[in-house]
Structure 1
Amino acid sequence: GISSVEKGYMLPSYRLSYKDLQQSGTSMESWTDATTTRGITKGHKPGNGEIVLTKQQAIQLSSAKKYRQLIGKTVKLSFNWVDVSGKPVQAEGNVKVSGISNGTSVRTSINSATLTRMIREANGSVQPNFLSVNVKDLNQVQTVADRVNNLRNAQNKRILGAMTVGSILKTVNTYVKLASTLLAAIAGISLLVSALMIIVTMYMSVSERTKEIGILRALGERKKDIRRLFTSESLFIGFFSAILALIIVFIATLAINYGLYHLIKYNIIQITFGNIAFAFIVALVISFLAALLPARRAANLNPIDALAAD
C-alpha cells in the first residue's frame, strides 16, 4: 500500500550565521513530500543546496524591514551529529535561502540531499532518523501505519513507530477531552456552591419576611401560593444569573478569540444556541431545586406566629 518512502533527517539543534549575525534554532527537518508549500509566504521550497527560513529567523539574521531581501543570499549552517560509532561530529556548510515561511505549517527546512552531503563531509553517519511514507490510497493510511508499527527485528523488538495525522488528532482529542472533563468538574462544583447560596438567600428571605407571610396567610393565601411566591423568586434569580453569566462569557469569548486568532487562524471558543439553551435550563433547574426547602418552610409557618414575629 506504499507508493514511496523518503529518508529524512531531524536536527535537534543548529546554528545559522549570516555576515556578523547568528541565530540558534531547534528541531529542523529535511523537506519531504509530506511538507506543504502553502506555508511558504515568499520564495519556493528548498532545492539542492537551499534552505527555507522562518520569518522570525530571517528578521534576526537581517532586520524587520529587509528580511525579504535575504532570499537568494547564502547563510552558513552548522549542527552536531554523530559518526557510525556514535561519537559526536560537527557538520557545517553554506546554503542558499530559497524561501521564507510563516513558521507554523512550515518551519525551518532543508533539502535532504544537502544534509546528507554535509553529514558525509563531516564523516558522520548518513543513516536517517525518520522516514516519510507516502500511501497510495487515503483509506489505507491506518492499515499501513499498523503494519509499520508491527515491523520487528530478530529479537522481536519494534523497529519503527508510525505517526499519522489521525494519531496526532487522536492525541489532541484525548487532551481536549481531559481538559473538558476537568472544566466540567470545576463547573459542577460552582453549580453546587451556587445552589447552596440560593438556599441560604431564600432562607434569609423567609426569615426577614415572616410577618409578610403571616399577613398573606391571614388574607386568605394558601400554602401552595406561598410556595409559588418563593419558588418564582428563586427562578428569577436563576434566570437573571444565567443572563449575567452569558454576557460575561460572550465578552471573554470575544477577547480570547481575538487574542489567539492570529496564531491558529481559528476561533478557539465557539458558542452555539444549544450551549445557551443548556445554560438557561440548568440555571432554572438548580434555582427551582434550591427553592424547594425554603419555600416549604415559608408555607408551613403558622399564620398567628408569623404575625407576632418581630
Structure 2
Amino acid sequence: MRLCFLVEEHYRHDGMPNEVIGQLTAWGHRVDVVRPGGSLLRMTEVVDTGAHDAWVLKTVSGGPGLTLLEAAAATGLTTVNDARSIRGVRDKALAAAIGRGRGLPLPPTYAVARPELLREIPAAEYPLVVKPADGSSGRAVHLVSSPERLETLLPVLAGEGMLIAQPYVPNSGTDIKVYAVGGELFATERCSPLHPDPSVRERRVPLSSEVAAIAAQVGAVYGLDLYGVDVLLGPDGPVVVDVNDFPSFRQVPDAAARVARAVLGLARAGGGPTTAAPVHTAAPAAPVPAPAPATAAPVSLPYVLPLSIPAQSSPAQISAAAGDTV
C-alpha cells in the first residue's frame, strides 16, 4: 500500500509516528511524509486522488495538517482517523458539547472568546481548570483557585485564543490514560499536569470495566479508531477530561507494530472501523506479527455560555457547530 503521513515539525523526531513509519516501510509499504508546517503547499494540486491509499495525521492542534487532511477527505480519500472526527475532538469546546450531549461523563464546560469573559463564571464553580480550546500536550493548562487568582492570570491567557473552563475534579494527582488501537484498550497511570510530581512514573495499570466501557464509548461518540482518553477518578466516579486523536501510545506493548497494523486495516476498509468496539486488554500481549509485504518500494518526501448539542444531532449539525466546511 502507499500511505501519506502528515507530520508537523513538533513530532519530526518523535518515536510516534516515526517508528510506525519505519515499521510500515520495513513491511514493504510505501510511506510518503509531508511536513505541512514546513512546506509551501500548493493547495490546488497537493491532493492527488490516485496517489495514496490513505492519509494519516500526526500534528499539533491548531496546526495546518488538519486542513490538508480535510482537503484529502473532501476529494473522497481515506483518512486515519476520519477528518471530521478529528475536528470534533481537537476543538475542546466542541468536544465537550458533543460528549455531554451524548452521555459521556465530562465536567460542565464554559467557552469564551476573550479571557475577561471568564469573570462571569459563578464563584461557586471554583476552582476551575482553564485551558486553550485547541491546546495539546498539556500546554497552558491552569488551575485557577478563585476569581482573584483569575484576575492575575488574565494577561497570561490573553494570547491563547478561544478558552474553555471546567470545574476542577478532585483527584489523587494522577490521570488514567487509556489508549485504543486495533480494537484493544490499554491503560496507563501518569502524573497529572496540574499536580507535577517527578517521582510519579507512567506505568501500565489494570483497566476497570467501568473505565473500559467509557473509553469504548468515547470512540463511538466521536467516531475515532486510534485515540487516547484522559480519565480522572473523581469522588463521583470516572470523568473524561481530554480526548486525543493519534496519541503517543506510550506503554502500549509493541506499539509501533500495533498502530501500523491498525493503519493498514483502516486503509483497506476505506477508513471504517476494523472492529465493532475496543476490548479491554488486561495484560501485555505477544508481539504482533507483520502482515505480508506489499510490492511498492519505501520512500520519504520532504460569550460565557455552557455548551450543549442535542444527543441525536446529525453529522451535518455537528459539522456546522464546528465550523467544518468539508
Greater relative contact order (CA < 8 Å, ≥ 6 in sequence): 2
TM-score norm. by structure 2 comes to 0.18
TM-score, scaled relative to structure 1: 0.19
- Structure of greater Rg: 1
Structure (1/2) with the larger helix percentage: 1
